[in-house]
Each structure stands twice: as structure tokens, then as C-alpha cells.
Amino acid sequence: MRLELGNIFIKDVKFDNETKVEGGILYVNKDEMIKEIGADEHIKSIEIEIARPGESVRITPVKDVIEPRVKVEGPGGIFPGVLSKVDTVGSGKTHVLKGAAIVTTGKIVGFQEGIVDMSGPGAEYTPFSKLLNIVITAEPVDGLKQHEHEKAVRMVGFKAAAYLGEAGRNVEPDETKVYETESLLESVQKYPDLPKVGYVYMLQTQGLLHDTYVYGVDAKKIVPTILYPTEIMDGAIVSGNCVSACDKNPTYVHVNNSIVNDLYEKHGKEINFVGIIITNENVYLADKERSSNWTAKLCKYLGLDGAIVSQEGFGNPDTDLIMNCKKIEGQGVKTVIVTDEYAGRDGASQSLADADSKADAVVTGGNANEVIVLPPMDKVIGHVEFVDTIAGGFDGSLRKDGSIEVEIQAITGATNETGFGYLTTKGY
């Protein structure tokens, strides 16, 4: 499967009377955009603002971050099974408004949403401070249930990304990158001397606002299966969860997964990147056993020499991570796990809730319990009063002068477990 991603580099975002991309600037007709995305009876008001890198702006509570894209050639459309039909994506041409993002906020949905500071020390922990953010504050109608609230805000974000993505449909990309994965037999024949490597992509699916969607299907209902890497790069997986901000995978991360991109960089040179196995993170032991059994079976079936396993979240999913690692290793496949740590504020506690001697190759995104003080910002988009109750915050986190003392758990993307961030740990 062959996918061309045409990157259109966005240098600035401005409001105007027409939505278009011209000279590297994304112009947005705010009224038209609100009309396009606002037809939901569960949302009573929508406001759109722009937050640029380096500005004294705080966005909280952040629900999702989404990259504007448009399918210009080939089967399927943007966000298949959600906004588009369920045609298989991952081939043809897709244009990307690179450097721009939709950020959704508003009244808190769950208690595990996050903070994005566009400047100051907090900005150094989140990759989303480097983007030109079109921030949508979507306020729910009174009395709306949390699951309905989450879905309404989620759909507003996807519609907004699709609306802005259309502005790039007929724009000549500044850069075109080509990604291709052959069928398994073709791949083995083409690179007979390279080790076969796969990626086991664990998706957050524990329910209670902990959901991820694959072609529109709640992934807790799936058994592990195989995807072309380009399907993920083309929007087949989207976020619908409200897990801790530091290590959740916003939709932006799914389509820009760092592990997928890095494996493609090595493909045909140092390794043979044969594909992706997606699996879920379950609540009950029997479901964990089933999914990890299937994951290990698929690794063996693909004839992998090595596998990289990333998780999303922490605590209960640590068990899924270790089960996957242990069983994949049991199939004779060398395994590396990618996670983050909850090692206490002093870093002295056990990092994961589960462990095994076979998990002897680990990449970490840092310690989410590290405490930071975020200085006051000139402008807040959203509702800063919720920082005392979001994961990583505590009673008194929000100070009278507008500064915030929190664990970096509260910062969106701070310890992302696909490596889409800035932190890691060096072993000695």
C-alpha cells in the first residue's frame, strides 16, 4: 500500500472573510466555520480563537488535538467510519496543513484532561505548544451526560479539522513524502537479509471515557488485528478518550505516530517494517489474556524477528503491556516496550504497576509525577478553574496569582508513550 502525504507548511493563521491557504497562511472564515461545525443539539455555544507559539496563552482543559487533512486522491476520506465512509484508507494522496492544529476545549468532560501553555516552562513539555492552534471552545447544554458531552466535542473537533483541511485540497504541497508497505511475501522477498520488525500498537479502550476508534468502531470490541502502517497515517484511528493528559494519544498523535515514522525511516535500510498489530487495553483478566494471546500469535504468524510495543495510559494497562511483552518474547521475538513512569514525585517508587524479567528493553517517556510550577499567562482559553481536579492537579494547584503547581501528568503530551514528546530517561 502506497501513500503520498503532501505537506503544506502553515506559517500563520488569520481570521478573514474566506477560508483558504495562500502564501503559507491559513485564512479562516470564523462565522462559516462555526456554522459548519456547530449543528449539534448537545452544544449550546462555540467560540474559535487562535493561539500561536510563544504567546502568553494557556489552553485548558484540552480534550483533543487534531491535524487538518484532506483526502485528494484514492479510496476513502478523512476519518473513515466517523466522517467518511468505511472505505480502506492508507493509499493515494492526502494533503496535510502541517504546523496547524485544531484544539478542543470547554467545560470539562472527564477529570483527565490537560493543559497546553504556548510559552513558559510548560510549553517545553508539550509538543503542541509549537503549533499554530485553532482553539474551539465548545460548551455543552446544561445537564448533558458525560458520554454525550465527550462525543459532541469529539465530533466538533473532527468536523473542524475536515473543514480546514479542505482549504488545502487544491494547494500545491511544499513537500511530498511517500510511504509504502508491500505485501508480506513481497516484502520478505525484497529484503531477505533484513530483520522483520513489527509494531504492536496498544489502544486505550477501558471504557468510561477511555475509548479509541478504528474505522469508527470502538476498539474495545475488536480482537487484535493487522493494519498497514499507512492506514494509521491516513486517519484510520482516532481518539475518543479522556485519560491522563501526559500520556494520552490525541488524534494528532495517531496520524503522526513517532514510532511509525521512525520505523519507516529504517525500512529497507536496517529493518524490514512489515506492519502493525493493533490491540486493546482491557479491564477484565480474561479479556487481557485473550488480547495478549492473539497479539503474540500474530507476531509469530508474521514471522517477526523483533517487535516494538507501545501502551497508552498507565496503571491497569501496565498489565496488558507486560502480558504482551512476555508472550511475544515467548514466541522467540525480541521485544522493546515503550511506556512512561509513575515513580512518585521523588522518582523513587516502582515505575510500572506490573513487571517481568522479559521486559528488559524499555524506552520511557519520563516520570509523570514530576512537579512543575506554571507561571501566570496573560490569556486563558477554556476554564482554568478545573486544574485543581484534573489528573496531576490537587486542591490548591491553582494559585491566586494565576500560577499553577501540578504534576506534569496534567500537561498534554508531556510523557507520550509513542515518543511524541521531549522527555526520556537515560540508563547508566
| Cα dihedral 418, 422, 424, 428 sign | positive
- With 0-12 CB in 10 A as exposed, 13-18 as middle and 19+ as buried, what is 39? exposed
Active-site pick, 242, 246, 299, 325: 242
Element (H, E) at 161: helix 146-165
Asked whether 118 and 54 are in contact (CB, 8 A), the reply is: yes
CB 220 within 8 A of CB 211: yes
Spatial contact of 58 and 397, defined as CB atoms under 8 Å apart: no
- CB-CB neighbours of 158 under 10 Å: 21
3-state secondary structure of 176: strand
CA atoms of 389 and 366, how far apart (whole Å)? 22
Rg from Cα positions in the chain? 21
Angle at 38 between CA 41 and CA 214, to 5 degrees: 85
Written as one letter, the residue type at 141 is V
Beta strands in 122-262 (DSSP E): 132-140, 175-180, 196-204, 212-214, 217-218, 225-227, 237-239
Q: Determine whether 325 is an active site residue.
A: no
Q: Which residues are catalytic?
A: 242
